Chains A and B, each alone.
Chain A
């Protein structure tokens, strides 16, 4: 599960810890900041957080694995979130998810081998009036259907081609 390797310098982690005044209670917030910085939770950063906050490493680990927001795998350059909340479910959101899985040939929770795309499902994005919902790198797309999401993926693929 944990195979992502990244260079972490203690100073960058310290900066994030100091921003929250090294408050052990701010552990969840600090981990969120770490994840924002590197895109996932690198193990060396967790160890540094544990040392600096004086929170036992197993407690840091317990928090990092308890909350859904945290990941130990870097996301793809294009990160896709599909809402599987009740409204999106009733409106065939699972077919949208399946279409993306088929199109990218990955399963939910995985990244494409080239690191360009990653796919994740979320329980509710709070845009239930216009479901099924898909979020691509923080950009919201409502009223999704199988056909629309395939068209969206085609656009994204050609965009990432140009970027690389």
Chain B
């Protein structure tokens, strides 16, 4: 059915809600990529069979949602209206969940979230601190709606902002509202979105484009993919509003550039675009407003550099994704040398809320310069991993130690990496910094896409710097010399440091090289590539020095610099290390102190991880 007026949206919402009245319970199974990796599809099959066997399909609504957020406890199932979240769900639990919770309405505490620190079990989804401590605006609907059904999105207020923008606002007013909200680009740079839109609207030409950057190449950040998986219509709605604001209706149009490695996100957004066309929300004369606009999908080819605006435009045109100098910005001359307004997925997702509720309401969260909420992917050596949405006035500590629960297994926190391969590592002493664009920049890191990778005492900062430089070397397009050659030289020097072959002068060499790259590279990806090295030298210089002068790796990671040995006083002779050693390098009689033959040892670290008595030293 094609909708031809905004009032029909309310009718769709009413009809849809009425169609749900027969259901007593809704089971939302998380079908995000993280849960898929932990076996949610097996759980889904068992759940379907069980509901059918018990004849419950007419009273229980089963939906597969996108990412619900608490990925460390995957697979997740939430049950409403009971407000229950079951964690680490196994197919074998389903019978009991259906009989106890769905039929009898009793929560099963064993399956609920239990805080590993204080042992508290949370029987209510909404009371789990990981969620209750967040300010979920963009992610609010993700655990509750079926991303494959446009009516579900419409029933929670979806496409109302579009109706307002189409029928009650002039293009200039939309741009002014976005400008007044202070929204900044969520892809990394934090450029004011309103200013970009104003330039796009002002740029001359009949063919204009709005483009969504979903080439989330930043390792450790997965909020964009998750938004596309869980709430694709939010992004589509944002883009249509953007199209009206800057004048990108037909003959111009929209593009979503999706990363090749995100098959689930790709299928969800493709499906959503088709649905939107069927319902008259994309295509000719949207909602009877006269605006014609459509969105096409472009699959990326797996190149990190295509996240850069000029490289992305080249890729859209079917060329290698090489950046060009930005004397003229893509907002004036981008795709086909025509005005192109490029925003990241999360930026587009912010647009409907700002238009519907106004800039003032948006500014209630965050700081003056960084208003609104930001989605962070909290991952690495932290107890609770997942997607966290908080205002940008919160501190790194409240995110990592509060919501994330700190480092697991009693380990000490060492660093927090933000901003991906363009960002830096912050030491524990900097944890009270505010998570906003400018504060992070000043500290030598950056917001980036919002990946927060937590590192504990078993992480080596030199190894991390080398990891990022290797990543950047792999992904450098090779067009400009400072990036191509500079990265290779950095990789050479850092490799020497991790092998104990470097000298103290090499640190100065790295710093100097970094400054040259910052000043000389063609695009922002090259110019920020030295950040991981410079920030680790700045904050963890002693660790570099221990590698160079002491030929030791304090994190116990750099294989050339570690030797394993048994700490005799601690060894109980339990044999766990013997069992896990793949090469037979560890040996010993039961209950007697074991020993390690370094000639056979491949330094795989298995014995160290297996030992419960801290009897393996390295």
Contacts and interface: CB of A to CB of B under 8 A. Distances in A.
Contact of B71 (A92, A130, A138): A130
B573 interface: no
Contact of B220 (A25, A66, A87, A130): A87
B234 to A, nearest CB: 18
B201 interface: no
A61 B320 CA distance: 10
Interface stretch (A3-11, A67-75, A111-119): A67-75
A138 to B, nearest CB: 7
B302 interface: yes
Given A27-B318, A125-B33, A142-B38, A32 B299 contact: yes
Interface string A24-43: 11111101100000000000
Interface in B279-329: 298-304, 315-322
B316 A25 contact: yes
B104 to A, nearest CB: 32
A153 interface: no
A125 B38 contact: no
A122 interface: yes
A90 B37 contact: no
B466 to A, nearest CB: 10
A32 B222 contact: no
B540 interface: no
A104 interface: no
Contact of B72 (A26, A129, A138): A129
Contact of A69 (B260, B319, B451, B471): B260
B334 to A, nearest CB: 14
A124 interface: yes
B451 A126 contact: no
A146 interface: yes
Nearest to B377: A128
Nearest to B40: A140
With most chain B CB atoms within 10 A of its CB, the pick from A87, A98, A102 is: A87
Interface in A57-82: 59, 62-63, 66-70
Contacts of A85: 219-220
Contact of B301 (A66, A86, A89, A91): A66
B74 A146 contact: no
A59 to B, nearest CB: 8
B554 interface: no
B176 interface: no
Nearest to A67: B301
B220 A28 contact: no
Contacts of A69: 260, 300-302
Interface residues of A, number: 46
A95 interface: yes
A130 B219 contact: no
Contacts of A146: 582, 604, 606
Nearest to B610: A147
Contacts of A126: 33, 216, 222, 225-226, 259, 261-262, 265
A52 interface: no
Nearest to B455: A90
A73 to B, nearest CB: 16
A129 B386 contact: yes
A126 B580 CA distance: 30
With most chain B CB atoms within 10 A of its CB, the pick from A95, A122, A130, A146 is: A130
With most chain B CB atoms within 10 A of its CB, the pick from A29, A32, A126, A133 is: A126
B27 to A, nearest CB: 22
A102 B301 CA distance: 30
A140 B33 CA distance: 8
A138 B471 contact: no
Interface string A128-164: 1111010000101111001100000000000000000
Nearest to B604: A95
A98 to B, nearest CB: 7
26 contacts: A28-B298, A29-B298, A66-B320, A66-B321, A66-B322, A67-B321, A68-B302, A70-B301, A86-B219, A86-B420, A87-B220, A90-B453, A91-B380, A123-B219, A126-B226, A127-B34, A127-B222, A128-B34, A128-B220, A129-B379, A130-B71, A133-B37, A140-B36, A142-B38, A146-B606, A147-B606
Interface of A: 24-29, 31-32, 55, 59, 62-63, 66-70, 85-87, 89-92, 95, 98-99, 102, 122-131, 133, 138, 140-143, 146-147
Question: What 8 pairs between A and B have smallest CB-CB spacing?
Answer: A129-B71, A67-B301, A85-B219, A142-B37, A140-B37, A68-B302, A27-B318, A124-B219
